[in-house]
Structure 1
Amino acid sequence: MNERLFGFVGGDSGAWEVTQMRAVKGAPLPEVKTIAILNGFSIQGHHAHWVLRGVTSNERYVTKEEKSRLIATQEGLGRTESTLAALIPIRKNASWWLLTQEERREILEERSHHIQIGMAYLPAIARRLYHCRDIGTPEPFDFLTWFEFSPSDASQFDDLVAQLRTTHEWSYIDHEIDIRLARKNG
């Protein structure tokens, strides 16, 4: 089993109960009751209304200093107190992908301060980014971002995504879904 491959299965069984689901930009996904997070792409044993697939990868747009700060500050997923989560799949438009890596970094951080904004909410909000374009098969989104946080940090999470959605970088988004979740029995 490849530990970098993950499937997010929207259906009727899973560890995370969907509390809210809305299309921020673009078409919505079909409504589901739960999301199961599976290591690998096999959904055997799960009734899926939809499956979003991604892989974990290296950080692409951070400097060495930023990466060191992230490692020193960010806490991992699965913390006992983090009973709330959000799955935010996004797709960027063709204009974004025509830019060079250097141009994307300039928009992401120098103009939009994406990394700086995110760091302001650490360690309260843990996150993991999954890349969909690296799979080699057509996927509906480019990135799946998974966030976990405690109920006492829910308003901070709302502030974080609100800030990010006002940046220049977000003008390149053409499809975004915001799915809020609560850990079952959590």
Structure 2
Amino acid sequence: MTNPITQFRGGDHGPWQVVNRRHLTGPAIPAFDRLAIGPEQPGPAPWQARGFNSNLRYTTARERSELLANGAPADRGDQCAVLIPMSKNAAWWALAQDERLAIYARARHMRIGMTVLPAVSRTLFHGRDLGEPFDFLTWFEFAPSDEPAFDAMLAQLRASEEWDYVSAESEIRLRR
């Protein structure tokens, strides 16, 4: 694996304070008060998950260009963040790549996500290839004033056909 692994460690230490947690489906994650993000650290934590950044797996060349032109870097000092650990079910992974891409396109995933750029930054971490309990760890950062736009975007995504394949999802809201 050439991409560095990022570890999310929930416990009593870290720059991000948990302000709200929602368990939506699948196994619940244990409660913790603070979150640290960085390179892998040895030792136990009440909750931890790992992932790595990868290529843009469901993105067309045109969409990639739009993302590069309008996207926002992560860790730019925003006060609000949301971590969404998520997995998709066996039916999703049994689909061929083009079938998954077609669902992604019909769901308008990229179009919906673009509506909040550059106010909301997003970084996707892949855990499935590491044998982690969550396929994806999606990290969002934004200013408090952009939370309503983030919430609207998230509601649209969750109402799409793509979410029929979600088998585990939690939402952890954080503040610096």
Shorter-chain TM-score: what band? over 0.9
- In 1, the alpha carbon distance for the partners of 2:142 and 2:25 equals 24
- In 1, the alpha carbon distance for the partners of 2:128 and 2:86 equals 11
Look up the match of 1:118. Answer: 113
Look up the match of 2:148. Answer: 155
Q: Deviations over 1:118-156 (max 9, x none)?
A: 011100100000001122xx3111000000000000111
Displacement of 1:50 in angstroms is 1.1
- In 2, the alpha carbon distance for the partners of 1:123 and 1:70 equals 9
Look up the match of 1:104. Answer: 100
Contact 2:18 2:173 in 1 (8 A): yes
Displacement of 1:3 in angstroms is 5.8
Give me the TM-score of the superposition, normalised by structure 2: 0.96
Alignment gaps of 5+ in structure 1: none
SS at match of 1:148: strand
Look up the match of 2:45. Answer: 48
Kindly report the root-mean-square deviation, in angstroms, between the aligned alpha carbons of the 2 structures: 1.2
Alpha carbons of 1:162 and 1:131: their partners in 2 closer, same or farther (altered >3 Å)?
A: same
Match for residue 139 of structure 1 among 132, 147, 157:
132
| Identical positions, percent | 46
Look up the match of 1:128. Answer: 123
Contact 2:16 2:174 in 1 (8 A): yes
Runs ≥4 in structure 1, deviation > 4 angstroms?
none
Look up the match of 1:62. Answer: 59
- In 1, the alpha carbon distance for the partners of 2:3 and 2:107 equals 32
State the one-letter code of the partner of 2:26.
Answer: G
Look up the match of 1:91. Answer: 87
SS at match of 1:170: helix
SS at match of 2:117: coil
Q: Deviations over 1:60-92 (max 9, x none)?
A: 011100000000000101223x11000001000
Contact 1:4 1:57 in 2 (8 A): no
SS at match of 2:30: coil
Alignment gaps of 5+ in structure 2: none
State the one-letter code of the partner of 2:41.
Answer: S
Look up the match of 2:18. Answer: 18
Contact 2:3 2:54 in 1 (8 A): no
Give me the TM-score of the superposition, normalised by structure 1: 0.91
SS at match of 1:134: helix
Contact 2:52 2:127 in 1 (8 A): yes
- In 2, the alpha carbon distance for the partners of 1:140 and 1:78 equals 25
- In 2, the alpha carbon distance for the partners of 1:60 and 1:160 equals 21
Q: Deviations over 1:85-129 (max 9, x none)?
A: 0000100000000011111000011x1000010011100100000
